[in-house]
Chains A and B, each alone.
Chain A
Amino acid sequence: MNNDFELVPHTADIQLRVYGKTLKDFFRNALIGMFQAIGPKSSACKKIQGRLVCPDLPEKREIEIISIDLESLLVDFLSEALYLSDINNEAYLDAKIHEVNEKRIRATVYGVKITGFEVVEVKAVTYHDLEVKQVDGVWQADIVFDI
């Protein structure tokens, strides 16, 4: 079992289980997990044990969001990353979360230019069964993506 994220079987879409020791880790792992799950294609990167590994992540984007609660914040954060990915043809495989609380996040995401996705593109991040909670001190949630 991974300690950052893993795929969970789901009838029609992609379900990601995300973990994080801190809320910052959790948001960072959610972002990375989402992009790793859909298999970005970049000639600069290599696939190692099912995950894309890049020597360098030269593309940098800033994200700042205010939402009504923690689940909405997560959905809005990942949705913003998808938007940036779509208009810039990039995938973000790391992030620095500068600050995060229940209603606000400020982060820098790092990525590479891509030529597409091996698996599929994400239509949306959904609220399906979304509950961000701490289990034995570890932040955890199952996120379902419509694809």
Chain B
Amino acid sequence: MKKEITREDLMKLDEFCYEIPRSFRPDMRVPAQVYMNERMMDAILGDRSLEQLVNVSTLPGIQKYALAMPDIHQGYGFPIGGVAATAIDEGGVISPGGIGYDINCGVRLLSTGMKEQELRPHMQKLATAAFHAVPSGVGRGGKFKLSFEEIDKVLRDGAAYMVKQGYGTGNDLEHCEEGGCMHNADPAMISDRAKKRGLDQLGTLGSGNHFLEIQKVDKIYDEKVAKVFGLSQDLVVVMIHCGSRGLGHQTCTDYVRRFMSKIADFGIELPDRELVCAPFKSQEGTDYYNAMAAAANFGWANRHMITHLTREAFKSVLGKDAWLTTVYDISHNMGKLEKHNVDRNEKMLLVHRKGATRAFGPGRPEIAAVFRKAGQPVLIPGTMGTASYVLVGLNENMEQTFGTVCHGAGRRMSRTQAKKSVRGSELRERLEKQGIIIRCESDAGLAEEAPMAYKDVDNVVNVVDGAGLARKVARVVPLAVIKGG
């Protein structure tokens, strides 16, 4: 049932929102909606992301529409930048591919409390210290080796367990989505294979597009909210982008395999095997959701420990009083049980966000108490040498996108193309000319992550802001980029 999607198939709903109606394909249960503008359209039509979005719209129990954010690009099963909410009381399914292999890949923002002028003289040393402090964990392990017993505690209590062990503070948890721990997590639902992989990966970045950046706030769009978030002009911040490492990847792989053997029993027809799913209320569905939460907890514990290592690195350069305060921590590969209005009825939905970030507005009980009046901070990382953004969630967005926005810039060029057009060493030189310090193990890895391989993050964020999905609060730009280690 593969039909190529062209401009003619897209109905323009308004300046930033386009729809592929149900009539496009007989197996669609709901329409597919994409947030984008004219500029992005050719790139989006250029890969299979919209076809994948149409496939998502066939999932049992899916509500309202299958959604795509402006940074949409081709994934497996779900497009990256995809959102699907299923009604769990109406046979709605949960799909591991709708959450991603890197469960709880996300972003944490930390504040140094100091301005660029004060820290400029130390920047090279800080970058070097951070590079040595935080391992990529690829091929070599992390600094916190866990036993099988201990890892169960991390899986159950996430970042909260690490605070109990004396790392970081309760303040870190208060400024983290879910307080750094989802309580339905069940360590028994994580396989021994996944646990073995996680034992020496706590406090490691991983590779690919994961990074640690030292940045500064270079523009404030909303003074009032910026103040609530603790952000000000020229403030130096640190951004960490990573997930649940091999433990998360193995967990998703394990459940995809398990679901694959049961899909015939569920009587679900899949247009794409990567969309494999199970009814949320089945044993398989429940087990995966509780495993996902445990893997997510590992991800939060991971970012928490990387925060600890980065604090130690800063102290080694600036003295023992140096500190990094957690501004916020968001997840952009996640499944959450949330109440949403659908046709004026309140329903319990399993909201899949894959390469998409929750962005709840003021008053929502799920948001950390400290932000409940202002709305949830939303962290959108850019790519090396480009800006990242802090946004705030809006209530108006709940109806439109189940309170969701994009996650980053989204890839446009293939990795092999990126390597051909930009040599890692050239890229390093170019970025260094802009005054950005780079600490990276592999020049090949650098070239693959070249900013030109990504869609323009400014454009993506402007669509999100223009469509009223979230509001810009601040822009941050990199001073130093650390990848691998």
Q: Do A and B come together as binding partners?
A: yes
A interface residues, Cβ below 8 angstroms from B: 7, 9-14, 39, 41, 67-68, 71-72, 75-76, 79, 83, 86-87, 89, 114-121, 123-128, 130, 144, 146-147
Interface residues on B, range: 35 or more
* Bound form: Cα–Cα A128–B75 in Å: 9
* Bound form: Cα–Cα A138–B361 in Å: 56
* Bound form: Cα–Cα A67–B413 in Å: 35
- Whose C-beta in chain B lies nearest to the C-beta of A116? B139
Is residue B280 within 8 Å, beta carbon to beta carbon, of the partner chain? no
- Chain B min CB distance to A82 (Å): 8
Contact (A121, B208) CB under 8 Å given A11-B73, A72-B260, A83-B193: yes
Is residue B282 within 8 Å, beta carbon to beta carbon, of the partner chain? no
- Chain A min CB distance to B291 (Å): 15
- A68 & B411 in contact (Cβ 8 Å cutoff): no
B interface residues, Cβ below 8 angstroms from A: 47, 73-77, 80, 101-102, 136, 138-140, 193, 196-197, 206-208, 246, 249-250, 252-253, 256-257, 260-261, 272-274, 276, 411-417, 441-442, 444-445, 448
* Bound form: Cα–Cα A137–B249 in Å: 35
- Chain B min CB distance to A36 (Å): 14
Residues of A contacting B253 with CB < 8 Å? 79, 124-125
- Chain B min CB distance to A115 (Å): 5
Contact of B136 among A14, A87, A116 (CB under 8 A): A116
- Chain B min CB distance to A89 (Å): 6
- A89 & B140 in contact (Cβ 8 Å cutoff): yes
Contact (A124, B196) CB under 8 Å given A12-B74, A115-B140: no
Residues of A contacting B415 with CB < 8 Å? 10, 12-14, 147
Contact (A68, B101) CB under 8 Å given A12-B415, A87-B196: no
Residues of B contacting A124 with CB < 8 Å? 101, 249, 252-253
Residues of B contacting A10 with CB < 8 Å? 414-416
Residues of A contacting B80 with CB < 8 Å? 12
- A11 & B414 in contact (Cβ 8 Å cutoff): yes
- Chain A min CB distance to B211 (Å): 13
- Chain A min CB distance to B34 (Å): 17
Ranked nearest first, the 9 interchain pairs of A and B with the lowest CB-CB distance are A116-B139, A127-B273, A12-B411, A126-B76, A128-B76, A9-B414, A124-B101, A123-B101, A123-B249
- B102 & A119 in contact (Cβ 8 Å cutoff): no
- B261 & A68 in contact (Cβ 8 Å cutoff): yes
Residues of A contacting B276 with CB < 8 Å? 127
Residues of A contacting B448 with CB < 8 Å? 119-120
- Chain B min CB distance to A92 (Å): 14
Contact (A121, B411) CB under 8 Å given A11-B47, A39-B444, A83-B193: no
- Chain B min CB distance to A93 (Å): 15
- Chain A min CB distance to B384 (Å): 15
- Chain B min CB distance to A48 (Å): 17
> With contacts A12-B80, A12-B414, A121-B206 known, what are 12 further pairs, Cβ within 8 A?
A7-B416, A10-B414, A10-B415, A11-B411, A12-B75, A13-B415, A72-B257, A116-B441, A120-B208, A123-B249, A127-B276, A146-B101
